[in-house]
């Protein structure tokens, strides 16, 4: 057997598996459609493989086998996610409202798959070239039925917006140029001697831009800064859509911090939090007092890693420089009537009054009616969750063995029921 | 074109297969070649009145493509960015013209570029993934 034989065999077996999975029952059609798309792509790749034979150029055969193997590694996890989207631990009540929201902010033909994943942090797969228009969101399995954490999906949808609205527009080029210009200016103004010490190939400042090897020295800082900008943008999207509830759910998931060295693709935690507080002020959202005290920074890389430390410093500087623009960009992209802004003051008071109205419905253990949007329900839910005396006089709750736990369970059910009512109202008004 | 485009390795490999078919005298499809050419061509702003031309590629993509040019020996090695950009444009033009009349040595060079691009793009994606913290007990 040659590598080409193995490669073909692997492709055929993968396609067989996809075919088997297509026979399953799915709660919504997008899961099955994703399987069809994946099948089409790998079938086409197999057809390309059929062109290869003993006369073919060995390097071409090798590249074809290598890319097939890489693609299988990348796409197999999607099959798993699609299967787990059928799991009953998912709160299927969330699906339609989140799909509606996704289509409003990302694109009206977007396809959504939500799954319970065995990863601690929510995640998203998108911009998958072979699954155009699909957004795959994974929520932590032990929380995938918890409606209080729905706002975290806002961050994941932010990635979808970035992919659709920024990467596909001139904004991407503009951000990239600003990042690159900031990094180059920062090196030349503040770090030239240190930089040349670490990268002796850079003999003069012009080498940073005009020399092929010179460019390679700082390229990682540019990649990291752009990724950091994306993460900040996603936080702003989650905040702008879900208001205070985004801040609470983020603290629920992340505070104070997990141990370890910070990933280079994220700003450190306190930078994220302070940027969120700044965005909240701009969006007319009241951040909880002392919110930043709930968090701590992750450790920076070991100073002995001198290259990484300097490049990360450059990346951090470039992404911080764009925070104000990213806050405005998220706000401007989300300025639609379906996602009401909390400004001017009258609008903020109207939203607040609606949240209080839903809160009062919850006090009567009644699902909300005419809630208007998902954010209002979740903000009322968080208000009830955080109010210690909520339902404290309700005999059916206070007489339970563990009233707090019982309250939480009933509240989550009530939020999910309210979301169902909202969806019913949306469907009947369409 | 972006270095992180997930389909870049597969697209470049498929383009190499199409070039290989032409080199063996049995070529017919240029589907992948057209898609790859269009991505390369869209990576440059057209020349303005000043004769200046600016690459729209981000620095990582430029490095990726530059390395593919170097390893396929399309032109004598250079570290000048302007010269590299000329080479990319030249190779995009050649890829666009591929057909039964294309000289065998050109096909071999272009095929070499495409296989190198496929490998480099896959390696770059892998290097990005390796930066993501993995589970402490995962091996």
DSSP string, B33-98: HHHHHHHHHTTBPPP-TT----B-S-HHHHHHHHHHHHHHTSSS---BHHHHHHHHHHHHHHHHT-
Q: Which of A78, A174, A212, A216 to mutate to test the interface with B (most CBs of B within 10 A)?
A: A212
**Proportion of chain A in helix, strand, coil states, percent, rounded to 5:** 65, 5, 30
Query: Residues near A380 by Cβ (< 8 Å), separated by ≥ 6?
Result: A355, A356, A358, A359, A361, A362, A368, A371
Residues of A with CB below 8 A from B6's CB?
A: 74, 127-130
Containing A312, the helix (H) or strand (E) segment is helix A306-321
pLDDT recorded at residue A246:
97
What is the distance of C-alpha B20 from the center of its chain? 16
Residues of B with CB below 8 A from A173's CB?
A: 56
List phi, psi (to 5°) of A238: -60, -45
Residue B138 has pLDDT above 60, yes or no: no
- In which band, very low, low, confident or very high, does the pLDDT at A142 lie, cut at 50, 70 and 90? confident
Closest CA relative to residue B23, chosen from A424, A68, A57, A357: A57
Upstream peptide bond of A208 is cis (omega within 30 degrees of 0): no
Containing A125, the helix (H) or strand (E) segment is strand A123-126
β-bridge mates for residue A325, sequence order: none
Cα–Cα distance for residue pair A66/A74, rounded to 1 Å: 12
Cα–Cα distance for residue pair A225/A191, rounded to 1 Å: 17
Cα–Cα distance for residue pair B133/A336, rounded to 1 Å: 37
Q: Per mean pLDDT, which range of A26-30, A148-152, A424-428, B130-134 is the poorest? A: B130-134
Residues of A with CB below 8 A from B58's CB?
A: 176, 222-223, 226
Cα–Cα distance for residue pair A76/A15, rounded to 1 Å: 11
> Smallest Cβ distance to A222: which of B10, B21, B59?
B59
pLDDT recorded at residue A128:
73
Residues of B with CB below 8 A from A8's CB?
A: none
First-residue to last-residue Cα distance in chain B: 33
Residue B126 has pLDDT above 80, yes or no: no
**Does residue B82 belong to the interface with chain A, where contact is any CB pair within 8 Å?**
yes
> Smallest Cβ distance to A71: which of B10, B20, B115?
B10
Q: Per mean pLDDT, which range of A213-217, A287-291, A361-365, B112-116 is the poorest? A: A213-217
pLDDT above 90 coverage of chain A, percent: 68
**Does residue B7 belong to the interface with chain A, where contact is any CB pair within 8 Å?**
yes
Upstream peptide bond of A102 is cis (omega within 30 degrees of 0): no
- In which band, very low, low, confident or very high, does the pLDDT at A46 lie, cut at 50, 70 and 90? very high
Q: Which two tokens stand for residue A417?
A: 């029921």
pTM equals 0.85
CA-nearest residue of chain B to A55?
B24
Residue A168 has pLDDT above 80, yes or no: no
Mean pLDDT confidence for A151-167: 90
- B37: closest CA of chain A, how far (Å): 17
**CA distances from residue A132 to A97, A107, A117, A299, A345 in whole angstroms, order as listed:** 21, 12, 22, 37, 40
Cα–Cα distance for residue pair A120/A152, rounded to 1 Å: 12
What is the distance of C-alpha B34 from the center of its chain? 12
How many CB pairs (< 8 A) connect A and B?
A: 112
What length is written for chain B?
A: 139
Residue A289 has pLDDT above 70, yes or no: yes
Query: A382-386: long-range contacts at Cβ-Cβ below 8 A with a sequence spacing of 24 or more?
Result: A382/A148, A382/A244, A382/A245, A382/A248, A382/A249, A383/A355, A383/A359, A384/A359, A384/A411, A385/A148, A385/A411, A386/A248
First-residue to last-residue Cα distance in chain A: 59
Which carries the bigger pLDDT value, residue B2 or residue B26? B26
pLDDT above 90 coverage of chain B, percent: 37
CB-based contact A57 B20, cutoff 8 Å: yes
Report the 3 state secondary structure along A136-194: EEEEEHHHCCCHHHCHHHHHHHHHHHHHHHHCCCHHHHHHHHHHHHHHHHHHHHHHHHH
Mean pLDDT confidence for A305-313: 94
Residue A11 has pLDDT above 90, yes or no: yes
Q: What angle do CA A384, A389, A390 make, to 5 degrees?
A: 35
**CA distances from residue B39 to A364, B27, B34, B56 in whole angstroms, order as listed:** 59, 22, 9, 11
Q: A401, exposed or middle or buried, with CB in 10 Å at 0-12, 13-18, 19+?
A: exposed
Residues of B with CB below 8 A from A209's CB?
A: 81
Residue A1 has pLDDT above 70, yes or no: yes
**Does residue B9 belong to the interface with chain A, where contact is any CB pair within 8 Å?**
yes
Containing A111, the helix (H) or strand (E) segment is strand A111-117
- B53: closest CA of chain A, how far (Å): 14
CB-based contact A45 B14, cutoff 8 Å: yes
Cα–Cα distance for residue pair A61/A45, rounded to 1 Å: 13
Count other Cβ atoms within 10 Å, centred on residue A221: 28
- In which band, very low, low, confident or very high, does the pLDDT at B137 lie, cut at 50, 70 and 90? low
What length is written for chain A?
A: 430
**Does residue A129 belong to the interface with chain B, where contact is any CB pair within 8 Å?**
yes
Mean pLDDT confidence for B50-68: 74
Residue A164 has pLDDT above 80, yes or no: yes
pLDDT recorded at residue B135:
55
Cα–Cα distance for residue pair A160/A133, rounded to 1 Å: 9
- The pLDDT tens digits of the residues spanning A371-397 come to 999 999 999 999 999 998 999 888 888
Cα–Cα distance for residue pair A141/A130, rounded to 1 Å: 26
> Smallest Cβ distance to B59: which of A51, A219, A264?
A219
Q: A residues 157-196 near B, CB within 8 Å?
A: 173, 176, 180
- In which band, very low, low, confident or very high, does the pLDDT at A119 lie, cut at 50, 70 and 90? confident
**Does residue A222 belong to the interface with chain B, where contact is any CB pair within 8 Å?**
yes
**Does residue A264 belong to the interface with chain B, where contact is any CB pair within 8 Å?**
yes
Mean pLDDT confidence for B98-107: 93
pLDDT above 70 coverage of chain B, percent: 81
Count other Cβ atoms within 10 Å, centred on residue A133: 17
- In which band, very low, low, confident or very high, does the pLDDT at B5 lie, cut at 50, 70 and 90? confident
pLDDT recorded at residue B78:
77
CB-based contact A74 B59, cutoff 8 Å: no
Residue B74 has pLDDT above 60, yes or no: yes
- B114: closest CA of chain A, how far (Å): 9
CB-based contact B80 A62, cutoff 8 Å: no
Residues of A with CB below 8 A from B13's CB?
A: 48, 60, 63-64, 66-67
Mean pLDDT confidence for A174-178: 91
- The pLDDT tens digits of the residues spanning A245-271 come to 999 999 999 899 877 889 999 999 999
Mean pLDDT confidence for A74-95: 89
Which carries the bigger pLDDT value, residue A326 or residue B85? A326
pLDDT recorded at residue B84:
83
Cα–Cα distance for residue pair A201/A391, rounded to 1 Å: 69
Which carries the bigger pLDDT value, residue B63 or residue B127? B63
Cα–Cα distance for residue pair A67/B118, rounded to 1 Å: 7
Q: Which of B2, B15, B16 to mutate to test the interface with A (most CBs of A within 10 A)?
A: B16
Containing A298, the helix (H) or strand (E) segment is none
Residues of B with CB below 8 A from A64's CB?
A: 13-14, 16-17
**Does residue B79 belong to the interface with chain A, where contact is any CB pair within 8 Å?**
yes
- A340: closest CA of chain B, how far (Å): 34
DSSP of A330-383: HHHHT-STTS----SHHHHHHHHHHHHHHHHHHHTT---SS--SHHHHHHHHHH
């Amino acid at each position: 057997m040659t590598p080409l034989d193995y490669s073909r065999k692997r492709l055929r077996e993968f396609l067989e598996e996809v075919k088997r999975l297509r026979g399953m029952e799915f709660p919504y059609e997008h899961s099955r459609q994703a399987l069809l798309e994946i099948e089409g792509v790998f079938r086409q790749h197999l057809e390309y493989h059929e062109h290869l034979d003993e006369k073919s150029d060995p390097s071409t055969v090798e590249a074809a086998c290598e890319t097939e193997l890489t693609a299988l590694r990348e796409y197999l996890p999607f099959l798993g996610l699609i299967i787990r989207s059928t799991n009953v631990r998912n709160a299927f009540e969330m699906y339609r409202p989140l799909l509606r929201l996704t289509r409003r902010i990302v694109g009206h033909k977007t396809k959504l798959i939500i799954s319970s994943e065995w990863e601690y942090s929510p995640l998203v797969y998108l911009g998958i070239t072979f699954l155009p228009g699909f957004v795959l969101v994974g929520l932590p399995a032990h929380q995938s039925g918890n409606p209080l954490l729905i706002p975290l999906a806002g961050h994941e949808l932010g990635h979808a917006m970035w992919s659709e609205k920024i990467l596909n527009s001139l904004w991407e080029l503009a951000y990239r140029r600003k990042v690159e210009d900031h990094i180059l200016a920062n090196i030349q103004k503040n770090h030239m001697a240190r930089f040349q010490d670490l990268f002796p190939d850079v003999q003069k400042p012009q080498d940073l831009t005009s020399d092929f090897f010179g460019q390679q020295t700082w390229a990682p800082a540019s990649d990291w800064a752009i990724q950091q900008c994306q993460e900040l943008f996603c936080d702003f999207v989650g905040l702008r859509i879900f208001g205070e509830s985004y801040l609470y759910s983020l603290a629920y998931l992340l505070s104070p911090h997990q141990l370890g060295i910070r990933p280079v693709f994220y700003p450190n935690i306190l930078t994220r939090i302070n940027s969120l507080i700044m965005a909240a002020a701009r969006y007319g959202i009241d951040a909880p007092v002392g919110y930043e005290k709930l968090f701590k920074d992750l450790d920076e890389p070991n100073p002995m890693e001198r290259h990484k430390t300097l490049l990360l410093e450059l990346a951090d500087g470039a992404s911080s420089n764009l925070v104000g623009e990213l806050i405005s960009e998220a706000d401007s992209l989300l300025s639609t009537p379906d996602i009401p802004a909390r400004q001017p003051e009258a609008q903020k008071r109207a939203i607040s009054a609606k949240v209080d109205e839903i809160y009062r419905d919850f006090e009567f253990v009644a699902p909300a009616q005419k809630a208007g949007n998902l954010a209002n329900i979740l903000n009322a839910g968080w208000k009830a969750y955080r109010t210690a005396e909520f339902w404290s006089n309700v005999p059916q709750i206070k007489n339970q063995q563990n009233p707090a736990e019982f309250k939480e369970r009933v509240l989550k059910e009530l939020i999910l029921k309210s979301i169902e009512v909202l969806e019913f109202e949306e469907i009947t008004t369409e | 074109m972006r270095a992180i485009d997930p389909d870049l390795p597969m697209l470049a490999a498929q383009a190499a297969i199409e070039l290989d078919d032409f080199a063996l005298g049995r070529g017919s499809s240029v589907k992948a070649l057209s898609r790859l050419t269009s991505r390369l061509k869209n990576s440059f702003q057209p020349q303005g009145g000043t004769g200046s031309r600016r690459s729209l590629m981000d620095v990582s993509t430029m490095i990726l493509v530059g390395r593919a040019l170097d390893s396929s020996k399309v032109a004598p090695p250079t570290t000048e960015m302007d010269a590299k950009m000329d080479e990319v444009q030249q190779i995009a033009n050649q890829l666009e013209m591929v057909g039964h009349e294309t000289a065998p040595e050109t096909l071999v060079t272009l095929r070499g570029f495409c296989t190198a691009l496929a490998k480099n793009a896959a390696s770059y994606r892998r290097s990005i993934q390796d930066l993501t913290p993995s589970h402490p007990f995962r091996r």
